Amino acid sequence: MSSTTKDSTNNNALGLSSPALTYTIRIAAIVFIAEALVMLFLAVVPIENAFFNGLFDSIALTLILTPLFYKLVYLPIITEVKLRRNLQKELEETNVKLEAYASIAEEQIKHKIDRLAGLRYIDMAITASLDLRVTLNVILEQVSATLHVDAADILLLNPNTLRLEHAASRGFRTKVLQHSHLRLGEGHAGRAALEARTVSIENLQKDAGDLLRAPLLSEEDFITFCCAPLISRGNIKGVIEIFHRTKLDINQELLDFVEALASQAAIAVDNASMFNDLHRANTELSLAYETTLEGWSRALDLRDKETEGHSRRVTETTVRLARDMGMSEEELKNVRRGALLHDIGKMGVPDHILLKPGPLTEEEWKVMRMHPVYARDLLLPITYLKSALDIPYCHHEKWDGTGYPRGLKGEEIPLPARIFALVDVCDALQSDRPYRSGWPKEQVIEHIKSLSGNHFDPEVVKAFLKSEMHYQVS
């Protein structure tokens, strides 16, 4: 074993570091030399003075105790200071690491909150609007805002052609993708839809592979690609695609969020589809109702050949006049239905009275005047037509209260019935009858004016004359 190793072992045994041992040896040497000099001085020069003897003894004692003081007092203090400094340094390093971890955690929490807020915003958009185009654009806005990607689009499945067709896009430099169509199973998007799974490509430059639209994307310089299927109630509705022009870390958290966006997009598509189907069914049902009413009206005209075409003419004119008098479009629907069915009650009048070529007797008039009541009894049980009863039930009432069947007066008569009463008389006077020819327009207008305030509502007469409406026999 070398002398250096031995010295090191001895140093460790004494509990001293190399600098401390060197310093101790030097102090011991100085003390030894000092003691030798003192002893030599005392031997050569005897000193009887007690003061000097005590002084030299103190110096000798101090020189002897100094190394011991260094080892027992000073060295432990130095060691403690070093330990505290090292501990302080470690604490500072730990604090720096904790701050870094806290910053990372805060950033992750912020990202999660932003994504949750984005999902909530999409939920609100789906709830607030049934316009699919608006909802899909909101979804793409949230994709860009929360994932910080360069571009995204949504392709919807056409159930008739089984092709994925462009529905909405954001962030693309060109519009070529708006005209692309993919069959199920074609390309990454078609495969994602067919297999109902998320597809991600970290480097499109190396793995364009199945991306059949790669030539269309050549000007976009995309690197990262991710595609998730839109699935609602087990049915594929389309796909959402995400593109980025630099490398993007496609981790599980990102994939989960993209799939959550895809689920919401699928719900929006499904809701819009159901609404459109419901709207279409409702439109078809309303059309069927209206067609049925028109069929009833034509049947009445065919039964009473003297009034053929009358229902169509008075219906069109009544609706126009009612609109001029400020009635809403919803009210006009019931005005139209009531005008079409204004004589539906005549189905309860016997043919020998309804089709009688000559004047009716008083008893026959009693039966004829019952047709508004028959109309009410016929239409009242039909919920769809309850709101259209005003004209069939009240169009023979007069402003002065002399009409039938209830003798209503003034504004007791519903406005639609007041409007129709004038239009009905006007058309009847212009139509030819077996017992008279139709009146000229000027004569009809003068007659209408003469009946203002007794037969007709004066305000309706004013509106009629102001609009210069007149009727010609078709």
Residue where a domain terminates, one of 87, 103, 119:
103
Residues 310 and 212 in one domain: no
SS3 for 113?
helix
Alpha helices in 15-74 (DSSP H): 18-44, 50-69
Q: Give the contacts of 286 (CB within 8 A, at least 6 positions apart).
A: none
Residue 237 has pLDDT above 90, yes or no: yes
Residues 153 and 228 in one domain: yes
Q: Give the contacts of 62 (CB within 8 A, at least 6 positions apart).
A: none
Residue where a domain terminates, one of 243, 269, 295:
269
- Strands 181-183 and 199-201, bridge-based pairing: unpaired
Residues 235 and 370 in one domain: no
Task: Calculate helix-pair angle for 441-450, 415-430, nearest 10 degrees.
Answer: 140
Catalytic residue check, 82: no
Tens-digit pLDDT profile for residues 345-376: 988 999 888 888 778 899 999 999 999 999 99
pLDDT band with cut points at 50, 70 and 90 for residue 331: very high
Residue 9 has pLDDT above 60, yes or no: no
CA distance 418 to 410: 9
Residues 446 and 316 in one domain: yes
CB 407 within 8 A of CB 401: yes
Domain count within the chain: 3
Of 94 and 43, more confident: 94
Residues 419 and 315 in one domain: yes
Residue 16: the pLDDT is 45
Residue 238 domain-assigned (yes or no): yes
Residue 8 has pLDDT above 50, yes or no: no
Of 36 and 402, more confident: 402
Residue 472: the pLDDT is 42
pLDDT band with cut points at 50, 70 and 90 for residue 277: confident
Q: What is the Cα gyration radius of the chain?
A: 52
Residue 427: the pLDDT is 87
Residue 281 domain-assigned (yes or no): no
CA distance 431 to 425: 10
Residue 436 domain-assigned (yes or no): yes
Residue 356 domain-assigned (yes or no): yes
Residue 13: the pLDDT is 41
Residues 313 and 462 in one domain: yes
Quote the pTM value: 0.54
Domain that holds residue 311: 304-467
CA angle 180, 167, 181 (to 5 degrees): 20
pLDDT band with cut points at 50, 70 and 90 for residue 416: very high
Of 248 and 368, more confident: 368
The per-residue pLDDT of the chain, averaged, comes to 80
Residues 328 and 418 in one domain: yes
**Percent of the chain whose pLDDT exceeds 70:** 74
Residues 73 and 163 in one domain: no
Q: Which of 237, 240, 238, 236 is nearest to 228 (CA)?
A: 240
Residues 98 and 171 in one domain: no
Q: How far apart are the first and last CA of the chain?
A: 135
CATH number of the domain residue 179 falls in: 3.30.450.40
Read off the tokens for 351.
């043919």
Q: Give the contacts of 375 (CB within 8 A, at least 6 positions apart).
A: 341, 342, 343, 344, 345, 389, 392, 393
Residue 277 domain-assigned (yes or no): no
CB 402 within 8 A of CB 416: no
Catalytic choice (175, 206, 333, 346): 346
CB 177 within 8 A of CB 158: no
Residue 36: the pLDDT is 65
Residue 101: the pLDDT is 77
Tens-digit pLDDT profile for residues 30-84: 666 766 666 666 566 555 556 556 666 666 566 566 666 666 666 777 787 788 8
Residues 74 and 202 in one domain: no
CA distance 90 to 466: 97
Amino acid identity for residue 152 in this structure = A
Half-sphere exposure of 131 (CA within 13 A, CB side): 6
Residue 295 domain-assigned (yes or no): no
Residues 336 and 454 in one domain: yes
Residue 119 domain-assigned (yes or no): no
Residue 113 domain-assigned (yes or no): no
Residue 438 has pLDDT above 90, yes or no: no
CATH number of the domain residue 412 falls in: 1.10.3210.10
CB 91 within 8 A of CB 83: no
Residue 119 has pLDDT above 70, yes or no: no
pLDDT band with cut points at 50, 70 and 90 for residue 410: very high
Residues 258 and 171 in one domain: yes
- CA 271 vs. chain centroid, Å, equals 12
Least confident range of 139-143, 173-177, 292-296, 404-408: 173-177
